[in-house]
Structure formats: structure tokens, C-alpha cells
Structure 1
Amino acid sequence: MARKPLTKPRKSASQERSRATVDALVGATARILVKEGFDRASTNRIAEVAGVSVGSLYQYFPSKEALVVAVVDRHNRDIMQFVRGAFADVAALPLEKAVRAMVAVAIQAHRIDPKLHRVLAEQIPRTGRLENVEGFNRENYALFRAYLEGHRDEIRAVDLELAAFVCVTSIEALAHTAVLHSAQKLSDEAVEALIEEATRLIAGYLN
């Protein structure tokens, strides 16, 4: 039975110089994943692109899988910072306007480095760290549920946990497929049409 790869960093970077080294390694990993793929992302190759020694790499990361997890965490932090701000902005909006804004935000979030997003979605199972994605999803569900709780008078009687799961999963699937798996880059008109139809879908389910 194959041993699971080590995915936890060896140590955290506390000084400015060590943080710069870690940032260079994580950035190099992201670039290699996009341009060359997971299989080419050896620790030697990552160190070379980052401009650091392999020994320095191993001071912080025990494997390339640990570096991929660090890329996932950084990418998710960027997206969640964007999403949290959006939910704060729509908290007081009526249902249809809020849903429209949330769909638009989901599409914009998937447009944050979409090539990297696609690679990470494909490679996360190989790192053995699916809990990173699950934690990301749980926060999305909680944010959406909080909005529904504050707008009970606008929606039908429904279990809020289930409704949040259905809505977030539907919006995520639509945005993910449209942005990452479309044959060509979405035009502004196509994005607007998708937002309109997805809003009808989610608002209709909740009404």
C-alpha cells in the first residue's frame, strides 16, 4: 500500500527573508502546475524556478504535495476574501438582487486565475487533502445560510441548511463549468445571460 505524501509544512516562515523564500516556492509551484502539469512539478524543478536550493525547499516543505496544498490554501484565501466582502455587501439586499449579486461574485471568483483553479480542482485528490475543499465549502454554506436567516420573510418554509447547500452547490457548479470548461472565453453578454438564468433558478427555488 502506497504511503500518503506528507502535506504539512515542516515549519512556518516567521522572518521576512524566510517568508520571501516560501512565497517564491509557492508561486513557482503554481506557475509549474499551470504550464507543465502536476507530474513535472518535482521538488527540483520547483526549487529551480523559484531560484532557491532544494535544501532550502525541504526546510519548509517535505514534498511537492505539501507545496500544492500551500498553493490551494493561498488560492482559497484569495477567493474567500473576495466572497466574504461580497456577502457583507448583499446582506441587506432583497432576495432577487442578493442572489444576482452572489451569482456574479461566484463567476468573478472563478475568473481569479482560472487556469490555476482548474489544475487545483483536478489535483487536490492526489494531495490527499480534500478537507481543505470541504472547509472552503462549509464557509460558503454558512455565509449563504446567514443571509437566508436574515431574510426568512422572503423565502418559503424550508430547512435553511439544506437550502444553503442546494443554492451554493448549484451556483458553484454553474460558475465552475461555465468559466473553467467552456470552449472559449465567456463574452460579457454570455456572462450576463448566465447570471440572469441562474438568478431565476435560485430565486425560483427559494420563493
Structure 2
Amino acid sequence: MRFPLIPTTLVLAAVATMIALGVWQLQRKAEKEALLETYRAAMEMPPIAWPETPDEDLLYRRATGFCVEPMRWRATAGQNRDGETGWQHIASCRTGGGEGPGMQAVMGWSRSIDSPEDWAGGEVTGIITLDADHGLRLVSENAAPGLEPVARPSAEDIPNNHLLYAIQWFFFALAAAVIYLLALRRRLRD
């Protein structure tokens, strides 16, 4: 009986790939820890003016912007400061002489998807976070009339699961190697 060279090569390549993915996840863990530390430091820095162009280096920094006029509203799932789920209401604000919205401002939370109609704009102070559609948004400390304050964004809420992912890849590699060795042993024995 010949030694199964091709299946052994394929299994060894798969095991090596899984180990490489585990090592990569360990590297990502270190990168994520550094990023989270940057966010924590940003939370302690003095407030800044709302940036004219999106800059992810400003995430979790306190900022103040001025909403000249809310041009439109949208609602996304969110929580209030008591941890209740509902809708956070985001105003697309005109911030100056420009034509389009210059600031996305999370102006509060409610159980209803209906956005407030009676907030005409003004100064907004809060924390800069990511906005999937517009780059950045400003989560207001104070709610617009008829809304409750949203949960405060925190770098502590960002998960760092890369160690678990690494362990998972190493386990997959070990399991594949053990299963193949048992199958190979049985084949050679028979």
C-alpha cells in the first residue's frame, strides 16, 4: 500500500493555513488593542470644533458643531442611557454656506421611529463616532425636544475578539491534524 501523498499534502497545507490565520489574528489583537487605547485617550482630550472633513483619527473625541438647519431625519436602532432599545434619531444638518449636509447629529432616542419635527437646529455638543453612510456623526449629549438622550458612545463597547478567533483557528488546525492522523493510521493498518 502506497503512502497517500496528495491527501497528506492537502491536509498539511490546510493545517498550515489555519495556523497562519491564528497567528494573523494574534497580530490583529495587538493592532486592535492599540486602536482602542487611542480611542480611550481621545475621550480624555479637550473638545474640538466639528471637523469640516471626516477624519477617523477624531473618533471618540468630544466636539461641538452648529446645525444651521436639519435638512432631513433618519432613524436607526439604538439604546437610551437606561439601556432600552428603540430608535436613535439622526439629523442631517447644514453647517454653513455649503449646499449639502455637513454634520450628522444623533439628537436623541425614542420608542417611535417618527423623527421630531420641532427641533430647528442649534449648537450640538457630543462625541464623534463612525457613521456607516456619512463617515462620522456627532452623538449629542443633550436630546432634542421630545426625545431622550441616547446611550453615550464608549471605546469600551468595541469588542476585541481576536484572541478567541486565534484560539479557534489553532483548534481547527489541531482537530484537522488529529482527524487526518487517525484516518491515516486506520488506512495504513488496514
Shorter-normalised TM range = under 0.3
Larger Rg: 2
More strand by share: 2
Q: Given the two structures, how large is their TM-score scaled by the length of structure 2? A: 0.24
More helix by share: 1
Q: Given the two structures, how large is their TM-score scaled by the length of structure 1? A: 0.22
